[in-house]
């Protein structure tokens, strides 16, 4: 079993193990989840010493689809984030969720749902980062969206939680469809679903730039980039471990991962890189300014994430060696420090019961370890020396400096904002005087933060392991081998000067906050009033209204219910009749002597049809209707089709019984009302016109269709020839089960759905 296979198996086994443990005892679930992710973390660590590995199974070969996975440098980086950070988050959650469920007075069985979807998300991420087949990428991509929906909406009893989950699903789900469309366009241009094969063909063909744009939109929405960023701050309604995981290391990282995966193609489209530059910078700015104005801990971090992924997108836009290597290194460094800060927010809230910066302060004395761990992480995010963050900014600055002054200004502006809001975040929590007293908390809520903090410092002292991971990822993104080496240079080089000006400006922004505070709030307020979130709600409300008005028309009465189906169907069929070429159709064939009996039965059918029109009593109506069916069965009998006749009679009998059965269920008053109601002349003539038009339409459609078939018997002939070869003697059955078996599948699916509908409608008893 190679490394790719090991990773895949262990990742997808983990959520299943949680389910199994849940059936034994719900309290076992957190322990099993910790063990399973620990094992996965060991495997992902081991995989770094293994050569690149691949899995390739053929499935649906006719469509050229393969289950093709590959553990390459890019996959290793993101799998490490998903599983490594995942392990720490699961360890944290094993204690946190117990308290969370306890506060909410919820059963221990809710553990199962939480850890199942968390681990399913992790598995989907592992699948996504290794997938090489375009359709497979889409499948795993969508799986992450589905799992995240259940995780964000975990506190389903809270309205805010539900609407946030829905918003995240709509934004990332709708844009996921764009990814699929992009994948299909690429397949159309390159003739393969395999991404490596497409990259190998080289060049950008016909519609490929548009395909890549669609994929980029999906990726940017997932990474919460402006203007599709609004779902992320709302998604903070989720329990803290979910925020820490999805919104630092996993879900938002999936977006920039996708850009990294398609980058060998994307870098060939210059205007697409410009799009990345614009959106990346806008996200840096918007996220940074809004993070400065927020008071809720997790909101500060959410906007910070938007801003930080803006950096990464900006770096992809700048391109070049430093840009791509820097982007990979940035994602790694950011995931470590940001998850530590999210976990800090959760631990602080757990200890004090408070969620906003205004209510929290001076915690360094009561929570020294947490202060130290998160302090290291915060230092990493603001890029102080001796942390991994220093190098992430150095690479960012190095590339900006290569491109010229405007880029340098943008880079320093973004980084200075980061310094300001993180400085505010950390100092308000841990320094100053104590505002709210804190309770002692479990060490399980602290040690993951300390580990992440130590990693931050380790990366600053010994960056080589981290740069190796990043260079392997960048080699995949650029499709050429890359080397990344970082070190401290104590000299007035341009990167160092930019870093120093970042700290100075950042501190300046923080220090002068009272002066610009109202302006920033005004910008935030304007964004809320006119921004994309506002249009999202308007769009959603509009759709709801449309759906409600169609629904209320449909359920008004039986007539409107039938009209809402038949009218659109009739219009469509009518249009189809009009545009269909009608040469050789609508011809009257000769009537021979042998057709005499047939004509008699047809007359009987017509007479039954006319009689039905005169009946008013419901029972007679049901019997009259069935006599139409029986006379048609007679027609089949005279056409020498005894089996069809038999089926027609049996079906007609069952239908009549069913019809009568339904009438028994109807309240008598309604039946009587319908029977005795005197229709006025106007409604009778209106019904007559509708019936005549509908009847004529059906007549012409059937006539056109029937007179056409006699001219083209090629398919029937070939099927007759093929029938013995496929072991059949009865061509009707062979057509139903084999030649047109897929149609039959559709039909029996509809029948089963109808049965489910009937049973669930009648479950509550008689119709009212």
Partner 1 sequence: MPTRDSLQLTGGMLQMGARVLLVPGFIIAIAIMLKGYADIGDGFSAGVIAALVVIVQGLAFGAEELERIAVARLAPLLGFIGLGLAYALAFVPVLFGYPILTHFPRMNEHAEHFGPLEFITPVLFDVAVFLVVYGFCVGAMMAVSRAEVRHQRLIRRARQRAGSRGGDAV
Window of 71-79, 114-122, 161-169, 735-743 that interacts with partner 1 by CB under 8 A = 735-743
We find the least distance from the C-beta atom of residue 659 to partner 1, in angstroms, to be: 10
56 vs 483, beta carbon nearer partner 1: 56
**Residue 738 lies near partner 1 (rule: CB under 8 A):** yes
**Residues 61-80, mask of contacts with partner 1 (x by CB under 8 A):** xx------------------
409 vs 753, beta carbon nearer partner 1: 753
We find the least distance from the C-beta atom of residue 726 to partner 1, in angstroms, to be: 5
Sequence-ordered list of residues with C-beta below 8 angstroms from that of 34, at least 6 positions apart, any chain: 87, 90, 91, 94
**Distance, CA of 448 to CA of 249 (rounded, Å):** 14
**Residue 664 lies near partner 1 (rule: CB under 8 A):** yes
Secondary element (H or E) of residue 57? strand 53-58
**Distance, CA of 83 to CA of 553 (rounded, Å):** 51
One residue of 650, 696, 705, 715 binding partner 1 per CB under 8 A: 650
Radius of gyration of the chain (CA): 33
584 vs 754, beta carbon nearer partner 1: 754
9 vs 386, beta carbon nearer partner 1: 9
One residue of 494, 651, 688, 689 binding partner 1 per CB under 8 A: 651
Supply φ then ψ for residue 274, to 5 degrees. -65, -40
The pair of structure tokens assigned to 123 is: 């598995």
One residue of 512, 552, 582, 643 binding partner 1 per CB under 8 A: 643
**Distance, CA of 602 to CA of 591 (rounded, Å):** 13
**Binding residue count for partner 1, defined by CB under 8 A:** 49
**Residue 58 lies near partner 1 (rule: CB under 8 A):** yes
Nearest 5°: the CA angle 55, 329, 307 is 110
**Distance, CA of 357 to CA of 473 (rounded, Å):** 37
Residues 749-768 that bind partner 1 (CB under 8 A): 749, 751-752, 754-755, 758-759, 762-763, 765-767
**Residue 620 lies near partner 1 (rule: CB under 8 A):** no
**Residue 485 lies near partner 1 (rule: CB under 8 A):** no
The Cβ-side half-sphere exposure at 162, using a 13 Å CA radius, reads 4
17 vs 734, beta carbon nearer partner 1: 734
683 vs 754, beta carbon nearer partner 1: 754
Residues 204-263 that bind partner 1 (CB under 8 A): none
Window of 140-148, 226-234, 616-624, 737-745 that interacts with partner 1 by CB under 8 A = 737-745
Whether the Cβ atoms of residue 442 and residue 369 lie closer than 8 Å to each other: no
179 CB burial (10 A radius; 0-12, 13-18, 19+): buried
We find the least distance from the C-beta atom of residue 721 to partner 1, in angstroms, to be: 12
One residue of 606, 647, 705, 716 binding partner 1 per CB under 8 A: 647
**Residue 727 lies near partner 1 (rule: CB under 8 A):** yes
**Residues 311-330, mask of contacts with partner 1 (x by CB under 8 A):** --------------------
**Distance, CA of 19 to CA of 8 (rounded, Å):** 18
**Residue 665 lies near partner 1 (rule: CB under 8 A):** yes
We find the least distance from the C-beta atom of residue 14 to partner 1, in angstroms, to be: 23
**Residue 661 lies near partner 1 (rule: CB under 8 A):** yes
- Which of 502, 500, 480, 482 lies closest to 491, judged by CA? 500
**Residue 617 lies near partner 1 (rule: CB under 8 A):** no
**Residue 742 lies near partner 1 (rule: CB under 8 A):** yes
555 vs 748, beta carbon nearer partner 1: 748
Q: Is the peptide bond before 49 cis (omega within 30 degrees of 0)?
A: no
Q: What is the 3-state secondary structure (H, E, C) of 519-533?
A: HHHHHHHHHHHHCHH
**Residue 60 lies near partner 1 (rule: CB under 8 A):** yes
Whether the Cβ atoms of residue 447 and residue 88 lie closer than 8 Å to each other: no
Query: 398-424 burial string, b = 16+ CB within 10 Å, else e?
Result: bbbbebeeebbebbbbbbbbbbbbbbb
**Residue 431 lies near partner 1 (rule: CB under 8 A):** no
254 vs 632, beta carbon nearer partner 1: 632
DSSP string computed for 437-471? ------GGGTHHHHHHHHHHHHHHH--HHHHHHHH
DSSP 27: G
**Residue 732 lies near partner 1 (rule: CB under 8 A):** yes
Whether the Cβ atoms of residue 266 and residue 212 lie closer than 8 Å to each other: yes
We find the least distance from the C-beta atom of residue 651 to partner 1, in angstroms, to be: 5
**Distance, CA of 48 to CA of 73 (rounded, Å):** 9
We find the least distance from the C-beta atom of residue 728 to partner 1, in angstroms, to be: 5
**Residue 696 lies near partner 1 (rule: CB under 8 A):** no
C-alpha dihedral sign at 335, 337, 340, 344: negative
Chain residues in the site for partner 1 (CB under 8 A): 58-62, 642-643, 646-647, 650-651, 653-654, 657-658, 661-662, 664-665, 722, 725-730, 732-734, 736-738, 741-742, 744-745, 748-749, 751-752, 754-755, 758-759, 762-763, 765-767
């Amino acid at each position: 079993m190679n490394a790719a296979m090991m990773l895949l198996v262990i990742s997808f086994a983990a959520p299943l193990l949680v389910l199994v443990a849940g059936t034994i005892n719900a309290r076992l679930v957190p322990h099993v989840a910790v063990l399973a992710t620990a094992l996965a973390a060991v495997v992902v660590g081991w995989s770094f010493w293994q050569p690149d590995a691949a899995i390739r199974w053929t499935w649906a070969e006719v469509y050229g689809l393969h289950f093709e996975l590959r553990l390459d440098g890019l996959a290793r980086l993101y799998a490490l984030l998903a599983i490594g950070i995942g392990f720490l988050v699961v360890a944290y959650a094993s204690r946190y969720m117990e308290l969370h469920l306890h506060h909410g007075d919820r059963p221990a069985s809710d553990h199962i749902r939480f850890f199942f979807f968390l681990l399913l998300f992790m598995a989907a991420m592992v699948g996504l980062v290794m997938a090489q087949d375009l359709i497979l990428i889409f499948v795993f991509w969508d799986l992450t969206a589905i799992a995240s929906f259940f995780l964000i909406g975990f506190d389903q009893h809270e309205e805010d939680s539900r609407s946030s989950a829905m918003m995240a699903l709509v934004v990332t789900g709708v844009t996921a469809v764009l990814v699929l469309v992009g994948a299909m366009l690429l397949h159309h241009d390159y003739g393969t679903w395999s991404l490596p094969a497409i990259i190998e063909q080289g060049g950008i063909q016909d519609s490929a730039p548009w395909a890549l744009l669609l994929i980029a939109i999906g990726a940017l929405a997932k990474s919460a980039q402006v203007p599709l960023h609004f779902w992320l701050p709302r998604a903070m309604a989720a329990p803290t471990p979910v925020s820490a995981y999805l919104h630092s290391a996993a879900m938002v990282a999936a977006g920039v991962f996708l850009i990294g995966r398609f980058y060998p193609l994307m870098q060939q489209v210059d205007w697409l890189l410009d799009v990345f530059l614009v959106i990346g910078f806008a996200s840096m700015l918007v996220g940074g300014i809004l993070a400065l104005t927020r008071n809720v801990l997790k909101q500060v971090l959410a906007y910070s994430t938007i801003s930080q992924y803006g950096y990464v997108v900006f770096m992809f836009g700048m391109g070049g060696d430093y840009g791509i290597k820097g982007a990979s290194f940035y994602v790694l460094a950011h995931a470590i420090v940001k998850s530590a800060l999210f976990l800090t927010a959760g631990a602080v809230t757990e200890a004090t019961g408070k969620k906003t910066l205004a209510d929290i302060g001076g915690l360094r004395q009561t929570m020294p370890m947490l202060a130290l761990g998160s302090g290291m992480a915060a230092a990493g995010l603001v890029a102080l020396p001796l942390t991994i963050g220093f190098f992430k900014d150095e690479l960012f600055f190095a590339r900006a400096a290569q491109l010229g002054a405007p880029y340098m200004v943008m880079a320093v502006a973004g980084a200075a904002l980061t310094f300001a809001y993180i400085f505010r975040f950390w100092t308000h929590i841990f320094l100053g005087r104590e505002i709210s007293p804190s309770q002692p908390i479990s060490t399980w809520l602290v040690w993951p933060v300390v580990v992440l903090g130590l990693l931050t410092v380790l990366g600053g002292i010994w960056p080589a392991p981290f740069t190796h991971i990043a260079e392997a990822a960048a080699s995949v993104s650029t499709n050429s081998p890359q080397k990344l080496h970082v070190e401290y240079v104590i000299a007035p080089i341009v990167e160092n000067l930019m870093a120093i000006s970042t700290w100075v400006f950042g501190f300046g922004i923080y220090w002068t906050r009272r002066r610009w505070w109202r302006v920033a709030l005004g910008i935030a307020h304007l964004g809320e009033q006119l921004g994309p979130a506002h249009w999202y709600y308007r769009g959603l409300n509009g759709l709801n209204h449309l759906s409600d008005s169609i629904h209320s028309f449909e359920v008004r009465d039986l007539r409107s219910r039938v009209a809402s189906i038949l009218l659109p169907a009739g219009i469509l069929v009518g249009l189809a009749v009009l545009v269909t070429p009608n040469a050789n159709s609508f011809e009257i064939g000769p009537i021979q002597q042998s057709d005499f009996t047939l004509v008699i039965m047809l007359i009987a059918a017509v007479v039954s049809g006319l009689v039905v029109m005169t009946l008013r009593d419901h029972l007679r109506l049901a019997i009259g209707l069935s006599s139409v069916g029986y006379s048609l069965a007679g027609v089949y009998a005279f056409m020498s089709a005894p089996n069809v006749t038999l089926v027609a009679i049996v079906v007609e009998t069952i239908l009549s019984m069913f019809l009568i059965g339904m009438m028994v269920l109807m309240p008598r008053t309604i039946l009587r009302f319908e029977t005795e109601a005197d229709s006025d002349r106007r409604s009778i003539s209106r019904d007559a016109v509708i019936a005549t038009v509908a009847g004529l339409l059906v007549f012409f459609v059937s006539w056109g269709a029937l007179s056409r078939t006699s001219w083209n018997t090629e398919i029937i002939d070939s099927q007759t020839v093929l029938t013995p070869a496929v072991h059949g003697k009865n061509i009707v059955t062979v057509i139903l089960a084999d030649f047109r078996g897929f149609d039959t599948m559709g039909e029996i699916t509809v029948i089963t759905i109808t049965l489910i509908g009937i049973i669930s409608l009648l479950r509550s008893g008689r119709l009212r």
